[in-house]
């Protein structure tokens, strides 16, 4: 994990609509959360948690960005299926996740592979102000909101 107080690595990736989005284009606080795979149980729970509390994030002036190594087409389908207002970004080669210490070797069912770790950062004016490592998707949005208050 990157440390609080560190500069947040800037990035530019395509969103679920195929548009280019840069971290530096956001003002104020931004939740940048990394998740392994769109439309899987844990990732859906986490994304829907942000969706269900979207008004609270909006009222607090906090943007939410979800990043995975899924292709743009998968992100588009995921956002549409669950009516997600979140900006979802495609990091297919894992470069941005790597810059955030959120990509690397994982194992599941006896297989080893590279993938995205479920980590979250809160960034304010280009600086990391909070970190969450290996988060539990259930209730994560509420945890962040509580900490931001």
Residues noted as catalytic: 43
Distances (CA, A) of 104 to 22, 47, 101, 117, 143: 23, 22, 8, 7, 25
CB 32 within 8 A of CB 65: yes
**Among 97, 89, 85, which residue's Cα sits nearest to residue 71?**
89
Please give the distance of CA 51 from its chain centroid, rounded to a whole number.
Answer: 13
Sequence-ordered list of residues with C-beta below 8 angstroms from that of 147, at least 6 positions apart, any chain: 122, 130
């Amino acid at each position: 994990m990157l440390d609080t107080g560190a500069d947040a690595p800037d990035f530019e990736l395509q969103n679920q609509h195929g548009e280019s989005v840069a971290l530096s284009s956001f003002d104020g606080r931004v939740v940048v959360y990394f998740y392994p795979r769109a439309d899987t149980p844990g990732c859906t729970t986490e994304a829907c948690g942000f969706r269900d509390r979207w008004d609270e994030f909006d009222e607090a002036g906090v943007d939410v960005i979800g990043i995975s190594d899924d292709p743009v087409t998968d992100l588009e389908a995921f956002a549409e299926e669950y009516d997600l207002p979140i900006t979802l970004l495609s990091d297919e080669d894992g470069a941005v996740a790597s810059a955030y210490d959120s990509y690397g070797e994982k194992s599941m069912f006896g297989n080893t592979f590279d993938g995205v770790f479920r980590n979250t950062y809160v960034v304010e004016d280009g600086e990391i102000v909070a970190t969450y490592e290996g988060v539990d998707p259930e209730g994560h949005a509420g945890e962040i909101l509580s900490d931001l208050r």
